[in-house]
Every structure is written in structure tokens, then in C-alpha cells.
A = this chain, B = another copy of it.
């Protein structure tokens, strides 16, 4: 399976403040986190837009990995910028500003060489744009899709159309409740499963993730980490590990989906330990394996003692 994994999403310059410091105009955006995390599993193709201020330094992390930037359009204007601040609770953040810039007129058009993509991740962008991407990948085998409260509120009809065409919805717990109108994970997931996707992956931040498909479910805690410097991008890094594992194995069964959740959790743990994408840079295979083993050890039931 050499067909690379395709991601469409944002590439941004983020200004982030957390209790551990402040970073200005550092690499961010869903497609950045996703592609870097996924690249440890499978080659990635990126569809996104940046401005003329996006320079070689910004490109370097991608260039060092098997990430194809042919679909990264450079438009005249400035790159998308986002600013946010986190308090002590890493699950809660406040957006300070969003400057769409070149992203405002983004209309994803895939390079011809990308149109044979089979594994696709639709990052958190306007659901109408997500649909436009799907129109351009007739050979798709598995589509993962993220969304957020903004689209649920303002573009629900369009979002529902996209959802009907995807295989997996990856979504935060609070946004799942908002989307489904139910404050119960299983019931809310059931409603989403009735609207198209065969899988729902509920992201719970520091508490982990839950995979639901039909009557099956898989619950996994996040790693307990000594240091969480910057939670930005955790969800996209999770998605990168998840989709990367699927694209690598080429398998689409319950066992593989569960493992994909594990790999997503592993990649998210690297992301949050450092600011920006720094935690996803230069990871060795041994480092990733060790983290996997750490998660294994800390969730293992061990010797069972029946009642």
C-alpha cells in the first residue's frame, strides 16, 4: 500500500499562551499536526493554503518527513493566524483571535496526482469544503472527518451532508453532545452513527478517547504525563496516529480500529509535551514504541481476580 494518506486542513501560525510559557507565530493548524503525526506511520499528502509569509523555516518540519507538499497552495496574502490561551485546565482554552487571511478564500483543489487517494482525513474546516474534497477522490476507501462547535452551530445542514459521506467522525465529547443534542456518550454516538459514519471516535482530552461502532466500543485513557506544556493540536495528532495506522495496514476491521485509537493516543501524548509541533519532530521508532509500551503497561489489567 503505497498510496499516501491525504489530509485537507489548515496550516497556521499560532500564538499560544499556557501556564508554561508563550510562543508567537509558531507552526500550527490541523493539517500540520495531522501530517507530522501520521508521517511516522505512512506517507502523507497535504492540501492546504498558506500566504507568502510562509517560509522555508516553516516548511522544514514537513520536508524532513515523508510529507508531500504539492497540494500546499501559496496565495498572495498572509497565512492563517490563530491565538489562544490555556489556563490550568488543559481541557479548557480561550481563543483570543482568528485571522483567516488567505484561508478566507480557500477552495481546495487537489493536484491530479492526489486524486487516487484512498485514505483521507478531512481536518476541521468548513464542511462545504470537506465535501468538495470528497468530490475529487473517487477511489476513497476510508474517510475520517473532524469538526467543531462553530460548524455545528452555523453550518449544520452542510455538516450533515458531509457526515453522510464519511466513515469515521472524530469529535470532542462536548461537541458530540452539541451535535447530537444528548449529554450521554453512547446515546449521542448512536445518533451520529445513524447519520452516516460507521465509527465515532470521541476525544476526551486528558481523559482519553472512546471508539464506538454499532454495539462495539473501546475505551482508552490518555497517558498520564509529567508535563503537559501545550495541548494545541492534540486532537489532530490523535487523528494522525489513527488514520496513519489505518493507511499503513490497509485494514478496516474492528481490531485495526482499536489499534488505531491506541496509536492516536500515543501520538497525541507527544504533541502536548511541547509547544507547537515540536513534540512531533524527530521521533525515533524506538521512542514511539516505548510510549506505546508505557500506555500498555499503565492500562493493563494484569492477573484477574474474579468475584
Binding site for B on A (CB under 8 A): 19, 40-41, 88-89, 177, 183-187, 204, 207-208, 210, 212, 217-221, 224-228, 245, 249, 254-256, 258-259, 262-263, 285, 288-289, 292, 296, 298-307
A259 touching B217, Cβ below 8 Å: no
- Given the interface pairs A187-B226, A219-B224, A228-B184, the reply to whether A289 lies near B305 with Cβ below 8 Å is no
**Nearest CB in chain B: distance from A224 CB, A:** 5
A186 touching B289, Cβ below 8 Å: no
A289 touching B302, Cβ below 8 Å: no
A305 to B250, CA, bound (A): 12
A221 touching B249, Cβ below 8 Å: no
Query: Which residue of B40, B219, B245, B302 contacts A258 across the interface (Cβ within 8 Å)?
Result: B302
A2 to B158, CA, bound (A): 64
Besides A41-B307, A204-B207, A259-B305, 15 other A-B contacts (C-beta < 8 A)? A88-B183, A184-B227, A186-B225, A207-B221, A208-B219, A212-B224, A217-B224, A218-B299, A219-B224, A219-B299, A220-B221, A220-B299, A254-B302, A255-B303, A259-B304
**Nearest CB in chain B: distance from A297 CB, A:** 8
**Nearest CB in chain B: distance from A296 CB, A:** 7
A76 to B212, CA, bound (A): 53
Chain B, Cβ-Cβ closest to A304: B259
Chain B, Cβ-Cβ closest to A299: B219
A301 touching B183, Cβ below 8 Å: no
Q: What chain B residues lie within 8 Å of A208 (beta carbons)?
A: 207, 219, 221
**Nearest CB in chain B: distance from A40 CB, A:** 7
Q: What chain B residues lie within 8 Å of A210 (beta carbons)?
A: 221, 224
